[in-house]
Amino acid sequence: MTMTTPGQFVLTLSCPDRAGIVAAVSNHLAGQGGNILEAQQFGDAETGRFFMRLVFEDTQRDLAALDSAFADFARQFAMQWTLRDRNQRRRVMLLVSKFDHCLADILYRWRIGELPMDIAAVVANHPRDTYRHLDLDGIPFRHLSVDRDSRAAQEAALWQLIEQSGTDLVVLARYMQILSNDLARKLAGKCINIHHSFLPGFKGARPYHQAHRRGVKLIGATAHFVTADLDEGPIIEQDIERVTHADTPDDLIRIGRDIERRVLARTLRLYLDDRILLNDAKTVVFHS
């Protein structure tokens, strides 16, 4: 008898909270031949919304059939949901400006298999030579220069590239250009930024210099979804390091680089494994 290797699927959902959701979802998946391997849930008492992430295996392996059956089931709960084949890799576009330490870190982790994704392109607003020390072999690179007068045209070219490359996620890896409200809206829930401060402190430009002037004893980095409101998007992951009165702004920048790298890498892994759910202006993150 030939044994079919079951496929693994990730289901995320959110809906108005009520009794019986977990049982109903579990019974539905069992009825589809699904065997649940992981399940996490959270009921937000403030918003009355329920969130769930499940990983299940199914010998049926037919995503289209599972998707259609769940669509019928989800309607009774007014669910927002996603269902994905866990082996389906996301296409991720990486945007960078002058400082490329986060990009370098992502490329390394990707090349050693730590980030299961396909890189759609690296897009920079500085020329290729800026990144001459980086291994970009096999990765499409586009230099989209931008200034006050060319911003609209640059964003139009960027959006065309995002659409044509089938990009699923845009990562601002220290990309220092403010996206227009229109582009931020088009990328809602699909664009992540690494901000080099512990938000909500020190939004905007030059946060390390702001922090130095304030005499902080901790600095941090924050990964968040990008919205039209600068550095106000739903926070996904953060981390910090201690600093002292003797540290200069350049010391803070140096110490901050490692925080930014690890926060963004953690965030990318979380996103690629469907562990981040949007909860209005916040997120629910189901850590492993």
Of 30 and 188, nearer to ligand LMY7XDAE (C-beta) is 188
Under the criterion CB under 6 A, does residue 226 sit at the interface with ligand LMY7XDAE? yes
Q: Is 57 helix (H, G, I), strand (E, B) or coil?
A: strand
Kindly state the smallest distance separating residue 167's Cβ from ligand LMY7XDAE, in Å: 17
Residue with Cβ nearer ligand LMY7XDAE (34 or 233): 233
Quick check: 173 binds ligand LMY7XDAE (CB under 6 A)?
A: no
Alpha-helical regions (H) of the chain: 21-31, 63-75, 101-111, 151-164, 181-186, 207-214, 249-272
Answer yes or no: 231 catalytic.
yes
State which residue, 89 or 185, has the beta carbon closest to ligand LMY7XDAE: 185
Closest by CA position to 281, among listed 223, 235, 222: 235
Burial 117-128 (b: 16+ CB within 10 A, else e): bebbbbbbbbee
3-state secondary structure at position 204: coil
Q: Cis link prior to 200 (omega < 30° from 0)?
A: yes
CB 263 within 8 A of CB 173: no
Question: Nearest Cα to 175, choosing from 205, 200, 203?
Answer: 205
Candidate residues 50, 99, 131, 175; the one interacting with ligand LMY7XDAE per rule CB under 6 A: 175
* Residue 264 binds ligand LMY7XDAE, judged by CB under 6 A: no
Q: Which two tokens stand for residue 136?
A: 């970009």
- Could you give the 3-state DSSP secondary structure of residue 201? coil
Q: Which of 228, 240, 255, 278 binds ligand LMY7XDAE (CB under 6 A)?
A: 228
Looking at the Cβ atoms of 105 and 231, the one nearer to ligand LMY7XDAE is 231
Out of 49, 53, 195, 261, the only residue in the binding site for ligand LMY7XDAE (CB under 6 A) is: 195
Marked catalytic residue, from 168, 231, 247, 274:
231
Of 100, 105, 155, 231, which lies in the binding site for ligand LMY7XDAE, with binding defined by CB under 6 A? 231
Contact residues: ligand LMY7XDAE, CB under 6 A? 172, 175-179, 184, 193, 195, 204-205, 226-228, 230-231, 233
Residues with catalytic roles: 231
